[in-house]
């Protein structure tokens, strides 16, 4: 199931790149702004609850869509750009397993705990 979710998120990331290509910005703007949403992690300097709130606010795809739709209705390319960056960033985060956060701490996400992977079970006769 995780592979299927990763493929879906990768497709959504690709969609964000395609949508960005339709905007009148130079190509390097997308990678230059791509990590900007991670500034929302600064909330973790206060505590895990504030950090989860600020991170989730910025990384929630519905918010990215709302920002993009505002740009669409206002015919404002900067709002569209912001929505596309937020959407693409959140999608690629989920490809790598960084989901929306729980109040317990940064590594506790709706996709599972970051950094813990189940080891494959060993079969008889394998070393």
Walk along the chain (127 residues) in steps of 10 and give the mean pLDDT of each run: 91 98 98 97 95 96 98 98 98 91 83 67 54
> Which pLDDT score is estimated for 27?
97
Task: Note the pTM of the prediction, 2 decimals.
Answer: 0.85
Strand, coil or helix: 1:
coil
Query: What is the layout of strands, in order, in the sheet containing 101-102?
Result: 101-102, 105-109, 112-113
> Which pLDDT score is estimated for 110?
84
> Which pLDDT score is estimated for 123?
53
Contacts 24+ apart (CB under 8 A), 56-64: 56/100, 56/101, 58/86, 59/86, 59/89, 59/90, 59/93, 59/100, 60/90, 60/100, 61/86, 61/87, 61/90, 61/91, 64/90
Domain residue extents for the chain: 2-109
């Amino acid at each position: 199931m995780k592979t299927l979710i990763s493929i879906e998120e990768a497709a959504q990331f690709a969609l964000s790149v395609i949508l960005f290509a339709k905007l009148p910005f130079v190509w390097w703007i997308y990678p230059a702004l791509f990590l900007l949403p991670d500034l929302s992690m600064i909330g973790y300097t206060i505590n895990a609850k504030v950090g989860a709130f600020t991170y989730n606010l910025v990384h929630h795809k519905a918010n990215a869509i709302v920002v993009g739709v505002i740009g669409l209705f206002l015919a404002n390319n900067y709002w569209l750009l912001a929505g596309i960056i937020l959407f693409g960033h959140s999608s690629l985060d989920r490809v790598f397993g960084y989901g929306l956060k729980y109040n317990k701490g940064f590594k506790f996400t709706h996709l599972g705990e970051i950094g813990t992977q189940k080891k494959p079970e060993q079969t008889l006769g394998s070393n």
